[in-house]
Structures are given as C-alpha cells and as structure tokens.
C-alpha cells in the first residue's frame, strides 16, 4: 500500500469530498439505523463547497495513489477552532486517514497557538469517539438533537426579530459572557445571510441565534432567551438543532413543544474550555 499524502484542500476538491462525506455518513447511519446526518449527496456537496469558499475555514484532504480518500475542515475564524466535518471513504476507513487528518489539523492549531479546539462527535460512532479520546479530547457535554414543529408557548415580554449589523457588538458581548469568547466571524456571516435572529427583553438584546438547525448556534443570558428564539423559529433545518442535555429546562421545553429526539452527540474539547454561564445551543461545528 502506498503512503498516505496529506495536502491542503482546494475548491476543486469539493465534489469528491462531498461524495465521500455523504458515503461515510450514509454507511454509518445505515449500520446503526439512524438518520443520515449529511442529508443528501447534493446537500453534502453544497456544504463542503460552501465551507471551502468561506474565508477562515481551512481544509485538508488525504490522498492515496492520487485519489482522495478523506477530508477534514476546521473553522479558524475565532480564538476557538471548531473541527468538522472529518470524513473518510468507507472503503478506506481502516487505512489511518482519519488519524492522519486529525493530527495534521491539531499540529496546525499548535503552530497557530490557538486557545482551544472543539468538535461535535456522533455518539454512536465509537470509532471516532475512541480516536478523539486518544488524541486528548475531553468530553464536555452530551448533546441531544431535536427535530419537528414546535408548539411551545412564547415567552412573555420577549421580542424576536431579524439581526442587523448594528446588533453584532451586543451579541458578541453576550457570547463572551456565556462562553468566555465570541463567535464573531460566524455571527457576521449569518447576519449577512439573513438567518440570524436576536431576542430583546426590556428593550435590550438578551440573546441571539445565527439560525435554527445543525450548522447554527445560539446564546442567551437565560433559558427564556433561547426558548424565545426557538419558539419564534419557522423551522429547524437539516437533522435538527443541538441542545445541551444537562439543561433540564431546555430539554423539558423541547419535549413539551412536541419536538422529537432523533439522536445524540458529544461535545469534545482540547485547550481552553470555560463552563458556560448562561443558556446556549451549539452548532455541529462546536
């Protein structure tokens, strides 16, 4: 077997990386009888292409005999780096490509002296969990993925509206209060895309969501802020949205609202991690 080669990904790699991403998630989900996280081949292709076209997102591919057998991407737009997706062709899953890609990403983060690295891992994927644990990632949170149409009641006095560029500074400050760091690059992107929402109580912003679904996150000063944002969502795109399972109030609201728990994931980190001081919903990135 020829030696595995790791190189930086380019936009031209997106079609092959997207196909491998879908094939990897499809094989895993089918084997465990869970929904396919990547959705469809078209959605996987779109996601990889969009990420590789986004400034601040770095990608690697693994090649053997001149053929791509895996890829890994990470969001480097903040002090905390979020890894994902990391996928390997199911036909090459025992060839060390996943470990090689992860080692290369972690070495890059060490060279860049980032504060911390995070990822969200699918709980039933014991192979990836074992790899990340061996690489020094610590388990921080069990996450529950919810989907459906919410029928929960609104929060009295809470107003949810579209976020504007003028809101970004206030939203960044709330994120820093909750997590100890902001996610400015992501927030700016989704405000520009029109998916971001803010919640106001007492005439001031108390929380925000970059959108509602797998790739978006939310923070709030209190549970009511995140609940108000969720209650105002038109739909939850993709597989659903992620909820920290230790937050019994948010979990109870989701069940009371008629939402369905479809699977669970694990938030894992290396480096800086502050226990969140407030309400929050992670994205699949972290």
Q: Are 278 and 251 in contact (CB under 8 A)?
A: no
CA 15 to each of CA 38, 58, 97: distance values in angstroms, whole numbers, following the listed order: 14, 16, 19
99 and 225 assigned to the same domain: no
Q: Are 239 and 147 in contact (CB under 8 A)?
A: yes
Closest to 27 in 3D by CA, of 1, 67, 95, 19: 19
Residue 103: how many other CB atoms lie within 10 Å:
13
Range of the domain at 218: 146-281
Residue 208 belongs to some domain of the structure: yes
Task: Give per-residue pLDDT as tens, 228-277.
Answer: 999 999 999 989 999 999 999 999 999 999 999 999 999 999 999 999 99
175 and 252 assigned to the same domain: yes
Q: What predicted TM-score, i.e. pTM, was given to this entire model?
A: 0.94
Residue 125 belongs to some domain of the structure: no
32 and 108 assigned to the same domain: yes
Q: Is 157 exposed, middle or buried (0-12, 13-18, 19+ CB in 10 A)?
A: exposed
The pLDDT of residue 20 is 94
Residue 238 belongs to some domain of the structure: yes
The rounded distance, in Å, linking the Cα atoms of 146 and 254 is 7
Q: What is the CATH number of the domain that holds 24?
A: 3.40.630.30
160 and 215 assigned to the same domain: yes
**Terminal CA-to-CA distance of the chain, rounded, Å?**
35
Task: Give per-residue pLDDT as tens, 95-106.
Answer: 799 999 999 999
Residue 43 belongs to some domain of the structure: yes
Number of domains in the chain: 2
109 and 152 assigned to the same domain: no
């Amino acid at each position: 077997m020829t030696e595995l080669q790791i190189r930086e990904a380019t936009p031209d790699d997106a079609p092959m990386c997207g196909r491998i991403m879908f094939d990897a998630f499809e094989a895993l989900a089918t084997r465990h009888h869970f929904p396919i996280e990547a959705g469809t081949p078209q959605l996987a292709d779109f996601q990889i292409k969009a990420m590789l076209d986004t400034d601040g997102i770095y990608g690697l591919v693994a090649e053997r005999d001149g053929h791509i057998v895996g890829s890994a991407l990470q969001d480097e737009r903040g002090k905390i780096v979020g890894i994902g997706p990391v996928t390997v062709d199911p036909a090459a899953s025992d060839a060390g490509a996943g470990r090689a890609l992860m080692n290369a990403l972690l070495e890059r983060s060490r060279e860049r002296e980032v504060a911390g690295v995070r990822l969200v891992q699918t709980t039933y994927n014991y192979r990836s969990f074992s790899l990340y644990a061996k690489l020094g990632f610590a388990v921080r949170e069990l996450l529950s993925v919810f989907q459906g149409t919410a029928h929960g009641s609104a929060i009295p006095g809470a107003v949810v509206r579209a976020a504007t560029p003028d809101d970004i500074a206030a939203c960044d400050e709330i994120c820093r209060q909750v997590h100890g760091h902001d996610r400015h690059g992501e927030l700016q992107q989704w405000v520009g895309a029109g998916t971001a929402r803010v919640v106001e109580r007492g005439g001031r912003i108390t929380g925000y969501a970059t959108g509602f679904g797998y790739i978006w996150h939310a923070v709030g000063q209190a549970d009511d802020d995140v609940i108000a944002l969720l209650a105002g969502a038109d739909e939850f795109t993709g597989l659903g949205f992620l909820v920290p399972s230790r937050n019994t109030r948010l979990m109870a609201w989701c069940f009371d609202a008629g939402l369905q728990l479809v699977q669970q994931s694990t938030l894992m980190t290396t480096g800086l991690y502050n226990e969140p001081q407030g309400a929050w919903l992670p994205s699949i990135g972290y």
